[in-house]
Amino acid sequence: METTLRGVGVSHGVAIGEVRHMGTAVLEPPAKQIPVEDAEREQGRARQAVDAVAADLMARGNLAGGEAQAVLEAQALMAQDPELMTDVERRISVGSTAERAVYDAFAAYRDLLANAGEYLAGRVADLDDVRNRIVARLLGVPMPGVPDSDEPYVLIARDLAPADTALLDPALVLGFVTEEGGPTSHSAILARALGVPAVVALPGACELAEGTVVAVDGSTGEIFVNPSDEKKAELEAAAAARKAALSASTGPGATSDGHKVPLLANVGGPADVPAALEAGAEGVGLFRTEFLFLDDSKSAPSEEKQVEAYRQVLEAFPEGRVVVRVLDAGADKPLDFLTPADEPNPALGVRGLRSLLDHPDVLRTQLTALAKAAEGLPVYLEVMAPMVADRADAKAFADACREAGLRAKFGAMVEIPSAALRARSILQEVEFLSLGTNDLAQYTFAADRQVGAVSRLQDPWQPALLDLVAMSAEGAKAEGKSCGVCGEAASDPLLACVLTGLGVTSLSMGAASIPYVRSTLAKYTLAQCERAALAARAADSAEGARQAAQTVLSGE
């Protein structure tokens, strides 16, 4: 019997196949005592297992490249955290086995993170995955992970660790569905990069029986269990029509009546550039430079290393626009040399621009490196600061850019509601705004972007979030300046039309989403987008806003 379930669609496309479940998590090791004379041997076993897991994560990262590489390298650093290792060795010295010591030490660290207001829930999930891999190696059991299968399948999991998502084989994994996660979780972002249809935050996903046939619509978030032949045909026809439309749509982003909306790519470094170019990106709307800094949490990369990485990206877009976000550290991206270790709530503490203003040498080096990387290139370089709260923040950043001799446009990210409310004030100091809708939603609704239980509040269709986008765009228009969106909201083709109608001047997203957005924008006039935006803002819920916009654009 066909039934329909609904989660949150996070990666476009349709997948039809049999369910396969993610391998089970490692069981809790027994709590048995070892003789004192065995402690040194057990400590050696623990160190070897930790080093092996870290090396495996680094190797996976090298294979995956791009954003996935940065995420996996961060996990490798987590595995080798000196404080965690000290705790493991201490527990072994008082009688624990290596596997039990790892399990208990990670559990204690996990509790510390969970009690810090749960902002670090995504980091907790990564921590659990690292623990499971180390314990599995010590116990000599298979690693938890993607099932072995010779036939293509739809993967079902409670959540997917970055190490698993990064190396999914699209030839075998037709799509995936998770119970946890949200539209801006690591798994969702990596799924879009892979181009694998995905749905997250689906209650009861793990209860689907092995071998059940499901159809996954990564655009709508719908899961059809035991779909009829008619439903399969309907979904396949829709997917084929979508693919044909994508192939026919080329060139710069624009509405059907010629209103230009530059479509830019979000990148984490040089490895992401080929996909952006292939998708026809008109430039880079968000260069996440923090991935350069995750290689070594103890110190910042040298100026020379930064210049090399920045120049590779800048050279790829001659005459194009490249928007670089300076280091955004803190909260779920802590760096030992930069961010406080003992903040009770890192999400509301010293992160982003606040960290850089506390460490002006780090900011100065990065800005100098950007200036040198752009020398002699015909690129339109723009540099923006994360977590700008007010005009004073914007002025401090612009002053730092000028002092570093940077010849570029200076901008501010709108991720804090105060920045949207006072957009015109901030634009007295900088030349453009860029809306980071992921964090803006998080701070607007007090809803952690990594926690599946509050994913409805992370939905970028929330009318209150659209109101803040509109305020920012209106403020920029009044000042004669630009206001783009570089959050994951831009990757939703229908929402891209609404954002255009709200007055957003450019859209930046993962490369895989660019063809979908280009094709959809080209179907509608600017006036239609504006009417859809008004209808969405008049709704009282995210689903209501989506339906209202769809109704306007479909002419119903």
Three-state SS for 18?
Answer: strand
Cβ contacts of 403 within 8 Å, gap of 6 or more: 364
How far is residue 288 from each of residues 271, 329, 386, 487, measured CA to CA in Å?
A: 12, 11, 10, 12
225 burial via Cβ count (<10 Å: 0-12, 13-18, 19+): middle
Which helix (H) or strand (E) covers residue 509, if one does?
A: strand 506-509
CA distance 494 to 171: 28
CA distance 145 to 60: 13
Amino acid in the structure at residue 9: G
The answer to whether 158 touches 21, Cβ cutoff 8 Å, is no
CA-based torsion, 383, 389, 394, 396: positive or negative? negative
Instruction: Give the tokens for residue 194.
Output: 């892979």
The catalytic site residues sit at 186, 486
Cβ contacts of 418 within 8 Å, gap of 6 or more: 389, 390
206 burial via Cβ count (<10 Å: 0-12, 13-18, 19+): middle
First to last CA, the chain: 31
Give me the count of residues in the chain.
556
Strand pairing category for 198-200 and 213-217: unpaired
CA distance 9 to 367: 38
Select from 415, 427, 549 the least CA-distant residue to 478: 427
Strand pairing category for 380-385 and 409-414: parallel
CA distance 41 to 293: 35
Neighbours of 239 (CB within 10 A): 18
Cβ contacts of 140 within 8 Å, gap of 6 or more: none
CA distance 191 to 166: 8
Positions of E strands within 332-481? 380-385, 409-414, 432-435
How far is residue 145 from each of residues 112, 163, 247, measured CA to CA in Å?
A: 26, 9, 35
